[in-house]
Chains A and B, each alone.
Chain A
Amino acid sequence: MNIEVVVFGVSFVVALGSSIAMLFAKNAVHVALFLVAAQVALALTFLLQGAYFIAAVQIIVYAGAIMVLFLFVVMLLGVDRREALIEPLSGQRTIAVGLGALLAAEIVYVAVKGTEFVIGGRGEDALVTINEDPGNVKALARALFSDYLLPFEATSVLLVVAIVGVMVLARRMGHEGFLRETTEDEGSEGAETDAEVPA
């Protein structure tokens, strides 16, 4: 019995099972948790293929950071109310079916064509040899910061723009037109005001 088969089997069952359970769960927090389970299982399959860096990042970024923020929002907005079954976007089901079919076709095509698409057409064992010689992280870093430097930098600029945009939109404007600090000032001054009141 090969241990890799066992690990693959477990992660396959968990990923698929929790994805299906995610669709049918009623509670928004449970949905988020099933998504986390699916992502961790996916990270396991990345590990199995020797893509260590991607596996770690998958857990840190998706399962760790993004899903915790999801949970945070879900918890703060209240999840006791069941979602009303009114679709805000009309026709999204039709589009979803179409896109799903496209994705399925893509997966089947890649599976039939074999590994020539995977890892730049270098075949199944490419990652194994890369992991042995420069190492997983080094090879990835070299690719990111040499061949793909422009897309990489463009993506990071995009993220910064998104963050700045959110901050500008979310902050309330003060009476003089300046951006007013909302959280820290009010919180601390409120506390200090309370402390000042004599007994």
Chain B
Amino acid sequence: MNAIVDFLGGDIVVTAIVKTVVAFAALLLTTLIVVWAERKVIADMQARIGPNRWGPYGILQTLADGIKLFFKEDFRPRTADKWTFALAPVLAMVPSLLAFAIVPIGDHITIGDRRIDLIVADLNIGILYFLAMGSIGVYGVVLAGWASGSKYPLLGGIRASAQMISYEIALGLSLVPVVLAAGSLSTVDIVAAQAGSVSNVSFFNGVPVLEQIAELFSFVPNWYIWSQWPAFFIFLIAGIAETNRAPFDLPEAETELIAGFHTEYSGIRFALFFLGEYVHVVIISAMAVTLFFGGWGGPKPDFLPWIWPIGWFVFKTGLFVYLFVWLRATMPRLRYDRLMWLGWKRLIPASLVWIMVTAVVNTEGVSRNARLVVFGILFVIVLFWLGKGDPRLTGAVTPQRRRVHGPS
């Protein structure tokens, strides 16, 4: 045993390998459950039963589907580019899996006298790593569209790349205020900065009556959702758009593109795209929890103190996954020009404004949360005003129509 450990380069390396394997297995298992849960929840919302044949409540359905897809014929069009066609599904899935490395799923556990942090890698550039993996993830969809060698996948791939690049900017910008507030790019530091309660953090310090009122809210945790909620909403919208799911599922719009970039994919390669999408959903949910909802933070009873943070993290992430499913079941798809309009003309300017607000407020220090709340309200008023100005958002004003072509 020691010989193997030394061969691999000491116990740091062994710990890293074990963490990686455990995280990988856990993430894949979660994904399988999420696929099943989505089918069950959507079925419930549509007054159906959903999968119920294999296992209790049909929980093994995803496994059955996986086995089916594994044995299905692996079809490839004659016009397809052989290597790129094979590479694309892998590129769609692997970056999402890798992004999980910087998500802290719990505090730490102690085995023997060794302290093991429940995160695969606490990088001091964690947020940048998350964005880097997101930008690599674009390749899977783009290459799938191109390599399939047929029309609809190409259209889907081009749509997807335009959408993902546009919303990646908003996603990246929405993380900047959080980084500014926490003063660190490390996800562990960001979670640590959200520990404690709101009344500890100079909410109304020095103000006589309000100080006492703030004391009453000492049970409220100091999560960034309170002070950074505009950033949170931008992150959520951009995150949903990044996963290419409803209402942003234009790259795979069945009615327009015959499923878009994965039209020509079948069997295990399609399964990789499918799994990649769900891993992405889990990652975006986990990042939303980590950045805005205190990560693994929560009440910690004495009984098994290490398991509670993991439980809180899984619970919060599960709520966000539910939100994703809920949106898919209820939201209609955006039209393409509105998608671009929302991304470039609203989300990106809005996040830039919010970055400036956070930066200005952060430099002055005292009672910054109170000021952030005020600025947040101002921000929404500005947004509302901007939205009102555009007839296409409210629909109150009929846009001026010019007959460009067609019979008059």
Contacts and interface: CB of A to CB of B under 8 A. Distances in A.
Interface of A: 1-3, 27, 29-30, 33, 36, 40, 52-53, 55-57, 59-60, 63-65, 68-69, 71-72, 75-76, 131, 135-137, 184, 186-194, 196-197
Interface in B259-307: none
A186 B404 contact: yes
A194 B406 contact: yes
B135 A184 contact: no
B8 A1 contact: yes
Contact of B154 (A75, A184, A194): A75
A193 B404 contact: yes
A137 B134 CA distance: 20
A64 B407 CA distance: 45
Contacts of A193: 401, 403-406
Given A29-B84, A29-B146, A60-B128, 17 more contacts: A3-B9, A33-B84, A33-B87, A52-B124, A53-B125, A56-B131, A60-B135, A64-B168, A68-B165, A71-B143, A72-B158, A75-B157, A136-B124, A184-B337, A189-B399, A189-B404, A193-B405
B233 interface: no
Q: How large is the interface on B (under 10, 10 to 19, 20 to 34, 35 or more residues)?
A: 35 or more
A68 B403 contact: no
Closest 5 A/B residue pairs (Cβ): A64-B135, A56-B128, A3-B9, A59-B132, A52-B125
Contacts of B405: 190, 193
B379 to A, nearest CB: 25
A85 to B, nearest CB: 22
Interface of B (DSSP majority class): helix
Nearest to A72: B161
A57 B132 CA distance: 8
Contacts of A36: 139
29 contacts: A2-B9, A29-B84, A29-B143, A29-B147, A56-B128, A56-B131, A57-B128, A60-B132, A60-B135, A63-B132, A64-B134, A64-B138, A68-B138, A71-B146, A75-B145, A75-B154, A76-B158, A131-B124, A136-B124, A136-B125, A137-B124, A184-B341, A187-B336, A189-B401, A190-B404, A193-B401, A193-B404, A193-B405, A196-B401
Contacts of A64: 132, 134-136, 138, 168
